[in-house]
Chains A and B, each alone.
Chain A
Amino acid sequence: DVKVTQSSRYLVKRTGEKVFLECVQDMDHENMFWYRQDPGLGLRLIYFSYDVKMKEKGDIPEGYSVSREKKERFSLILESASTNQTSMYLCASIRGLAALGSYNEQFFGPGTRLTVL
């Protein structure tokens, strides 16, 4: 049974704190993603990683950084949390690149609802 897990379901932090969100997948997937989900805006890509130690900015990387030291683990870091980073954070993983015209399914973790006070 495929699985993507996230370290916390709910998290409350204070403005200015450094926040770590952890994501682990047990499917040996090469690609991992961090999204945030806000009402009316849908899922927006923060960062993604195609392989260990590789990372690329998504659409809204400002205020975030990531770390991929091991294939199974992808961490999202909020260097100095702000109230506008209150959101649902979703991690996802997907196996490599699919053949042309085909696809590999993207699997999501259960999400972390972060509140910054």
Chain B
Amino acid sequence: GQNIDQPTEMTATEGAIVQINCTYQTSGFNGLFWYQQHAGEAPTFLSYNVLDGLEEKGRFSSFLSRSKGYSYLLLKELQMKDSASYLCAVRSPYGNKLVFGAGTILRVKS
């Protein structure tokens, strides 16, 4: 079966650091993606992890532990524009099919 869990909502303060967790149980694994989706817009790619460890890209970092079925997205120096939904998705080992979690709504307050 396929199961991807993320918190439904999170709130954080401008300038702070926030960590959004994602746990997964899937039949096969070929990488994990994080997407950002602002209200009423299409998801946009943030990061990809296929090996264990931390991938850093500016203010955003993503971590993966395959043995634990766990990933997190770390957002530093939060800005108001970071208020959005963050989607965790696992890629099937067969082709480019992605299985998405329900998404985490992040609200950044001043």
Contacts and interface: CB of A to CB of B under 8 A. Distances in A.
Same complex for A and B? Answer: yes
Interface of A: 4, 31, 33, 35, 40-45, 48, 50, 58-59, 90, 94, 97-98, 101-106, 108-111
8 contacts: A45-B97, A50-B95, A97-B95, A101-B51, A103-B50, A105-B45, A108-B42, A108-B43
Interface of B: 2, 4, 8, 31, 33, 40-45, 48, 50-51, 87, 89, 91, 95-103
Given A42-B102, A101-B51, A103-B48, A90 B97 contact: no
Contact of B31 (A33, A90, A103): A103
Contacts, number: 56
Contacts of A59: 2, 99
Contacts of A103: 31, 33, 48, 50, 91
